[in-house]
Amino acid sequence: MSPGASCAGAQFMGRENWLPVGHQVADYGGYYVNVFNGIDDEDWSTLDIAIEDLKQTVVQAMADIFPGFSRAKKYRHGGVVILENDLAQVVIAENDGSMAVYLVIPDTEEFPYPELGRKHLKRYLAALQTILLKYYPGQVRVRRGPWTSGILRVAM
């Protein structure tokens, strides 16, 4: 969590379970965004628009902050990689009632510098957190444990 944010005291059970998977993950961190608030589960087109808006927001804002990131679209780590650079990938995945947005530091031949990626992870996560809090205030959660999470808010 970055200095400008706080995690509300309330804990929520069983909502934020998705984590990047695979033996090729050196490190990760991320958030859960409730983009489905007020959308009926049967309204597929509106659900798809909400997911697409989240993807576009993250891609555009992260690329503005870190020009080395480029758009991607491939299935890895149990989700869809929407953005990547030489050190990290931004992965989005459906979670129970929300969307997981994670930064993954891969450890593969394609990404041979996981230690360097780990050094940048906090900076990348702080930027991702700032973006999500700006565009989705009150809708961002952070994982606190296997079955608990808390709402992430901008500190006043």
Residues of the chain with pLDDT > 90: what percent? 62
User: pLDDT tens digits for 51-79?
Assistant: 999 999 999 999 999 999 999 999 999 99
**Backbone angles phi and psi of 30, in degrees to 5:** 180, -170
Q: What is the average pLDDT across 17-24?
A: 87
User: pLDDT tens digits for 32-45?
Assistant: 999 988 887 777 78
Average pLDDT, the chain: 84
Residue written as tokens 């992260």? 62
pLDDT at 153: 58
Using 50, 70 and 90 to split pLDDT, how confident is the model at 144? low
Instruction: Check if the beta carbon of residue 138 is closer than 8 Å to that of residue 151.
Output: yes
Using 50, 70 and 90 to split pLDDT, how confident is the model at 123? very high
Cα 136 vs. chain centroid, distance in angstroms?
12
pTM of the model: 0.83
